[in-house]
């Protein structure tokens, strides 16, 4: 399998600069791949069609070693291939525009406005479980006394 969806390659889904630098394996299982296909088809592709251009995926699947290396939560949906971090590096829509469009138009599990300002997050975390199990929950990540906290928005 070369592609998870029309515009997301399997390579992109498992790519991590950190894994590469540390020489870590970052290989999704078949179950992870099936989750990755779900979010790619149900969130990424409709969003990409809306912004009408490429969207940068900064982080998608994270195997246990990689997740530990970057200090990610052990409960992170990235570890199941259910979450991706997207960023407006290519400039077709701002992160806040993508956040608001997903919120208004798609079924998703959890979306996080990641830091940044009230006008624009630094990046957007989005997860997808299944049509029935998705919680459609929005959080905002912020720092307080050096710790990451979340509020429901």
Interface ranges with Zn ion (CB under 5 A): 85, 125
User: Toward Zn ion, which CB reaches closer, 32 or 125?
Assistant: 125
Report the SS3 class of residue 89: coil
Tell me the residue number closest to Zn ion, measured at CB: 125
In angstroms, give the least distance from the CB of 123 to Zn ion: 8
Q: How far apart are CA 144 and CA 104, in angstroms?
A: 29
**Beta 110-114 vs 137-144: how paired, if at all?**
parallel
State the chain's maximal CA–CA distance in angstroms: 45
User: Toward Zn ion, which CB reaches closer, 80 or 125?
Assistant: 125
- Structure-token match 């009408």, residue found: 52
User: Toward Zn ion, which CB reaches closer, 52 or 88?
Assistant: 88
In angstroms, give the least distance from the CB of 130 to Zn ion: 19
């Amino acid at each position: 399998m070369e592609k998870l969806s029309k515009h997301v390659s399997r390579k992109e889904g498992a790519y991590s600069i950190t894994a590469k630098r540390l020489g870590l394996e970052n290989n999704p299982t078949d179950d992870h791949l099936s989750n990755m296909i779900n979010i790619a088809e149900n969130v990424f592709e409709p969003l990409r069609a809306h912004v009408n251009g490429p969207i940068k995926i900064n982080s998608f699947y994270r195997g246990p070693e990689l997740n530990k290396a970057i200090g990610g939560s052990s409960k992170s949906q990235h570890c199941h291939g259910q979450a991706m971090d997207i960023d407006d590096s290519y400039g077709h829509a701002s992160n806040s525009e993508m956040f608001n469009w997903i919120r208004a138009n798609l079924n998703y599990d959890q979306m996080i406005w990641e830091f940044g300002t009230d006008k624009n997050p630094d990046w957007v975390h989005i997860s997808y479980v299944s049509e029935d199990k998705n919680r459609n929950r929005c959080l905002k990540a912020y720092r307080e006394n050096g710790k990451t906290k979340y509020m429901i928005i």
